[in-house]
Structure 1
Amino acid sequence: MVTWNNMDTLASYQKLSTMKDRVNIIEAMSGEEGAERVKRYTTPMAAGMSYNYAAKEVDDAILEQLAALAEEAQLVDKFEELYNGAVINTGENRKVLHHLARRQLGKDVIDNGVNKRDFYTGVQAKAADFANKVHAGEITNAAGETFTTVVQIGIGGSDLGPRALYLALENWAKTNNTLKMEAKFISNVDPDDAAAVLNSIDVSRSLFIVVSKSGTTLETLTNEAFVKDALVKAGLNPSNHMLAVTSETSPLAQGDDYLDAFFMDDYIGGRFSSSSAVGGVVLSLAFGPEVFAEILNGAADEDKLATNRNLLQNPDMLDALIGIYERNVQGYPATAVLPYSQALSRFPAHLQQMDMESNGKSVNRFGEYVSYPTGPIIFGEPGTNGQHSFYQLLHQGTDITPLQFVGFKQSQIGTDVVIEGTTSQQKLCANVAAQIVAFACGKDDENSNKAFKGGRPSSIIIGEQLTPASLGALLAHFENKIMFQGFVWNLNSFDQEGVQLGKVLAKRVLAHDTDGALKVYSDLLDI
C-alpha cells in the first residue's frame, strides 16, 4: 500500500537538502578524473540510447541519497499502481493509462466490464486498417482519387505531441520510402493558421482529423468550421473528408458528419495522448501503421526500464531525481532542453506543455499548498541554432539553468559533405560535446567580459540515429521523468485546472458578459 506525503516530510529528502553545493563540476569534469566520470556516470536506455549525467552536480553520496528518496517516496510502487489501474488522477477521479496504450506493462485493467488494454489495442487496429485502406486506394475522394495529405485539427496535447513526432520522422520516412502521406497541423484559432495550411494543400485530396476528447474545445471547433467552409466552397462534401478522434460520448461521435471516428477515453490525458488514437491515426496515415507500432515498441521498452528499483539502472527515475536535486536543493528555476537534431525542432515545445502543465502546481494531491518549489520552467531550441540565440545567458547569465542535451551519432537523411576535413554531422556532434564541457568547466580570462565561470550542469541522451524506436523511447523517458517528479512533489500531475480559467473568460467575452478590466480589454480589441 503506497502512502502520499509531501516531499519535505520525508527523512531522505531532509538529508538530501543538507547536500547543497557538494560537487564542484569544474573540478569533477577536468582531466583524467573527468574522462573517467563520463564513462562511469551513464545509464542505458531503450533503443540503444544512453543517459549520461557526468556533467551534473552529483557524486556517489548524492546518488545514494537520491536512491533512498526513491525508496522512501515509493516511486516504483506508485508507478505500478498507476499502470495497473489505480485512480491516480485524484482531481478528476480518473485512472491514468497512457502506458497501457503501449500494451506491454502490467495487469489487465478492467473498467465497467471493459478490458482497457483490449480497448486501446482495438482502436490502434482500427486506425491501422483505415490507414492501410487509404494507402491501397480502397478509400478515396468522391472522384476516385487517392488522398495525399492528412491534416490534424487540434490544440494542446492534440497538436504538440503528434506534430513533434511527425516532424521528427518526416525526413527519416522520406529517406526510407515510408512516407505515405504528407501531414499538416492546424492548432491556433488565429484564422491565418488554418488559411495558410489550406492554401498549401489540395483540399480535394486531403483528409482532416478533428481531435477533441470532449468535442467542445472552442479553438478546434472553430477551425473545424473553417475547414468545412473551405471544403463546401470547393464543391466537396465535408463528411467525405473528415475524421474524428474523440470520446464515445462527445458531440463529435454523434451523427454522420465524419467519414470515420476513432475513440479515446478520459484515462489518457491530452499531453500524454501521442500513444493513443490522437497520435496513432495521423502517424499511421502519414508513415504507415508499422512505423507507429515501432514508436510504441520503443516507448514500451523504455517503460519497462522505468520499473527497475535500482536507481542507477532506471534512467527515467534517475533523470527525475537529479532534477529534484537541482530544483529543490540547488534552487535552479528552469531547465533548457537542447536537441542537437533539427528533426526534433518541436520536441521542446511538446515537453514544455507536458512538464509545465503536469507539474506547474502549488497544491498537493489533497488540495493543500506545498512549501517547496515544484515544476521548473522548460524551454529549448535545436542546436546549433540555440547557440546563436540564448546560449549567451546560459553561459554568462546570473542564473544557472540546468541543460538537457539530446544528440545522435548519425544523421537521418545521410547526405553530408566534408568541409575543412570534417562532415557537417561531425561538426554537430563536436558542438554538443564542446558545449557540455564549456558549460561545466568554463574558461578563465583576465577580461571578465570574456571569462566563463563554468559550473553549469548538464546531461545528454545519446543515440545512434533518430528512428521510430528511439523517438518512442525518448517520448516515454520524459513522460516517466515528469511522472516521477510529480510523485516526489506529491502532486496530481494529470489534471490541468490552470488551463480552464482562460477558456471560461474567453466565452464570457464572446457572450459580452464582461465587466471591469475584462470589458476594457474587450473594447480595446473591438470584440
Structure 2
Amino acid sequence: MTEWRNFDELKSFQTLKNEQKVDLPAVMAGESGAERVRKYSVPMAEGLQYNFAAKSVDDTILSDLAELAQEAELGDKFKELYEGAVINTGEKRLVLHHLTRGQLGGDVIADGVNKRAFYQEQQKRIADFARDVHEGKIVNEQGEKFTAVVQIGIGGSDLGPRAMYLALQNWAKANKQDYMDAAFISNVDPDDAASVLASVDVAHAIFILVSKSGTTLETLTNETFVQNALRAQGLEPSRHMIAVTSETSPLAHNDDYMAAFYMDDYIGGRYSSTSAVGGAVLSLAFGPEVFAEFLEGAAAEDQLAKETDPLKNPDMLDALIGVYERNFLGYESTAVLPYSQALSRFPAHLQQLDMESNGKSVNRFGEPVSYPTDPVLFGEPGTNGQHSFYQLLHQGKNIVPLQFVGFRKSQLGEDDSIQGSTSQQKLCANVAAQIVAFACGKPDENRNKNFEGGRPSSIIIGEEVTPRSLGALLAHFENKVMFQGFVWNLNSFDQEGVQLGKVLAKRVLAHDTDGALAEYSKLLDI
C-alpha cells in the first residue's frame, strides 16, 4: 500500500524550494531556445505532443520532479485507483472513470458487479438505441424520425458533453457523421430552456434527462419546463424523453421515459463524459462508432499515464510542472488557450474539472494543508483571447502560466489563401508567435511598450481535432488533475464546496430565512 503524506513533508519539497530559478528569456533566446523546442517534448496518444520548452524548468528541475514523482508514489497511486481502491476518501468510494474506456488493470468488482462489464453493457445499450433512432425504428408519435437531441443537465452533466459535442460538430459534418443536431439546457434560469426550445423542432426532438441521483433541483425544474412545452404542442413527454441516471434513482425503471441508461457513484460528474452521460448525446448526434473512437483515444492516453517515469508520461509531467509553478514560483492562476474554435467550450469544462477537483484547503484526511493548492483556471480560444485579456498576460503584474493547444489542420480541410497564407496558417502563426513573445519579451525604452517576458507556457499540438485526438486530450487533463491531487494529498473526487449554497437556496425557497439571507431574499422578491 502507498503512503499518503502532505506535500511539504516530502524531501522533494525542500529540494525544489532551494533550486535556482530558470531565466526563461535567456534560455529561450537564439539557438538555446531552438534546442529546447527540439528537446523538451513528450509524445502523447493519437499523434498529440506535449512541448514544454517555454516552461521555467531545466534538466535539474526536471530531475527533481522525477524524484518527486517517485517519492510521492504517483504511479503506484494511479495503479491503486484503477484497480479499485477507495481513493475518494470523502465519500468512501472507488474512482472508476478510466474503466469507462478501457481495462488498465485487473477486474474491478464493486457491489458484486464487474464494473468494466457494466460500463460496456451501458455503452452497448446506448449504441443499439442510437442506431434504432437513426434507422427510424424508434420514432415520434407521428411515426416520423427524430432529428434533434437535447441534453438536460448541469455541471458535469452539461459542461463536458457540451464541450465534446461542439468539438466534433464540424468534423462530423465534414465526415458525414452528423446524424442529429444537439442542444443543451443547463441553467435553471428559464431563459435558457426557453431559448433552446425556441430553436429546436420539439416534435422531432429526443430529450435526455441526466441526473445521477434523480433529485437535482435545476435539472428536474428544467424537465418540467420541457414537459410543459411538449404538452403545449399536444405531445406526450414520455415519447420524447430518456434518462441517464443511477439504477437506484427515481428516474430508473420509470414509464415517464422511453429508456434509461445507467451510471454509478464511482464516476464523478466532471469525469463522466466517457460514461453514459456523454455517450447518449454523442452517440445520437454523431453515431455510436464515433463515440467508440472517442473512448479509444482516451484509453490510449490512459495507457501512457501508467508510465512511472514522468519524462515518458506527458500527463504526469504536465501535472508536476504545474505543481512547481504553483508552489515554488508562486503563480496563482493558469490559462488554457486552445487555438481551435472546435475547443471553444473546452476551457469551461476544464474550469470545473480542475477547480472542483483540487480547489481544496484540507488533505484527504480532513486536515488543513499549509501550502497553496489549485490555481484559478480560465481560458478562451485564440485568436479571440488575444483581443481580450492578453494585455494582462503580457504586461500585467501577475505572471500567469499558459497552456496552449493547437492543431496543424482545421476540421474542414484546406481553406483559401488570403494575402499569401490560409486562415489555418494565420492561426498557427499566431500561436507560435505568442509562445515566443510571452517567453522572451521585447525590451523598449518606452516602458509602455516594454515586454519583460518570462511568461511560461506549454503547448499540446496535434494534426487535427478528431474523435480519437479529442479523447486523448480529455484524458490528458483528467489525469493531470489526478496526479496533482496526489502530490497535494487531496481528495480530487468529491466536491463539498458546491453543497452549502444548495442548502441555503432550499431554505430561501421554503421561506426559512433570517438575517442577511432574509434581506437578500426580499431584495430578489422571493
TM-score where L is the length of structure 2:
0.99
CA distance in 1, matches of 2:55, 2:32: 14
Equivalent pair of 2:37/2:53 in contact (CA under 8 Å): yes
- Alignment-derived partner of residue 158 in structure 1: 157
CA distance in 2, matches of 1:255, 1:449: 65
User: Per-residue deviation at 1:307?
Assistant: 0.5
Give the CA RMSD over aligned residues: 0.6
Aligned to 1:274, the other structure's residue is in SS state: coil
1:9 matches 2:39: no
- Alignment-derived partner of residue 129 in structure 2: 130
- Alignment-derived partner of residue 352 in structure 1: 351
The one-letter amino acid of 1:249's match is: T
CA distance in 1, matches of 2:448, 2:110: 62
- Alignment-derived partner of residue 233 in structure 2: 234
User: Per-residue deviation at 1:253?
Assistant: 1.1
User: Per-residue deviation at 1:189?
Assistant: 0.3
CA distance in 2, matches of 1:254, 1:426: 52
- Alignment-derived partner of residue 337 in structure 2: 338
Equivalent pair of 1:7/1:13 in contact (CA under 8 Å): yes
Map Cα deviations across residues 153-188 of structure 1 (whole Å, 9 max, x no partner). 000000000000000000000010000000000000
Map Cα deviations across residues 62-95 of structure 1 (whole Å, 9 max, x no partner). 0000000000000010000000000000000000
Equivalent pair of 1:19/1:329 in contact (CA under 8 Å): no
CA distance in 1, matches of 2:28, 2:414: 34
After superposition, residues 319-338 of structure 1 pair within 5 angstroms as: 319-338=318-337
- Alignment-derived partner of residue 196 in structure 1: 195
CA distance in 2, matches of 1:419, 1:253: 55
Equivalent pair of 2:253/2:260 in contact (CA under 8 Å): no
Map Cα deviations across residues 450-473 of structure 1 (whole Å, 9 max, x no partner). 000000000000000010000000
- Alignment-derived partner of residue 287 in structure 1: 286
Equivalent pair of 1:442/1:455 in contact (CA under 8 Å): yes
The one-letter amino acid of 1:235's match is: G
CA distance in 2, matches of 1:35, 1:395: 22
CA distance in 2, matches of 1:169, 1:284: 12
Aligned to 2:405, the other structure's residue is in SS state: strand
1:175 matches 2:174: yes
CA distance in 2, matches of 1:510, 1:438: 52
CA distance in 2, matches of 1:95, 1:265: 10
Aligned length: 526
User: Per-residue deviation at 1:255?
Assistant: 2.7
- Alignment-derived partner of residue 257 in structure 2: 258
CA distance in 1, matches of 2:487, 2:112: 33
- Alignment-derived partner of residue 300 in structure 2: 301
CA distance in 2, matches of 1:128, 1:106: 25
After superposition, residues 465-476 of structure 1 pair within 5 angstroms as: 465-476=464-475
Map Cα deviations across residues 399-419 of structure 1 (whole Å, 9 max, x no partner). 000000000000001251211
Equivalent pair of 2:24/2:440 in contact (CA under 8 Å): yes
Q: Which moved more, 1:96-105 or 1:59-68?
A: 96-105
Map Cα deviations across residues 91-139 of structure 1 (whole Å, 9 max, x no partner). 0000000000112311110112210000000000000000000000000
CA distance in 2, matches of 1:459, 1:104: 30
- Alignment-derived partner of residue 42 in structure 1: 41
Aligned to 1:99, the other structure's residue is in SS state: helix
- Alignment-derived partner of residue 118 in structure 1: 117
- Alignment-derived partner of residue 208 in structure 2: 209
TM-score where L is the length of structure 1:
0.99
The one-letter amino acid of 1:290's match is: E
CA distance in 1, matches of 2:145, 2:190: 28
User: Per-residue deviation at 1:5?
Assistant: 0.2
User: Per-residue deviation at 1:314?
Assistant: 0.1
- Alignment-derived partner of residue 520 in structure 1: 519
5+ residue gaps, structure 1: none
CA distance in 1, matches of 2:19, 2:113: 49
1:249 matches 2:240: no
User: Per-residue deviation at 1:254?
Assistant: 4.3
- Alignment-derived partner of residue 372 in structure 2: 373
CA distance in 2, matches of 1:46, 1:159: 26
CA distance in 2, matches of 1:383, 1:443: 21
CA distance in 2, matches of 1:172, 1:19: 46
The one-letter amino acid of 2:6's match is: N
Aligned to 1:356, the other structure's residue is in SS state: helix
CA distance in 1, matches of 2:510, 2:159: 29
- Alignment-derived partner of residue 91 in structure 2: 92
Map Cα deviations across residues 428-485 of structure 1 (whole Å, 9 max, x no partner). 0000000000000000111000000000000000000010000000000000000000
1:490 matches 2:489: yes
1:429 matches 2:413: no
Q: Which runs of 4+ in 1 moved over 4 A?
A: none
CA distance in 2, matches of 1:147, 1:468: 24
Equivalent pair of 2:186/2:219 in contact (CA under 8 Å): yes
CA distance in 1, matches of 2:520, 2:18: 48
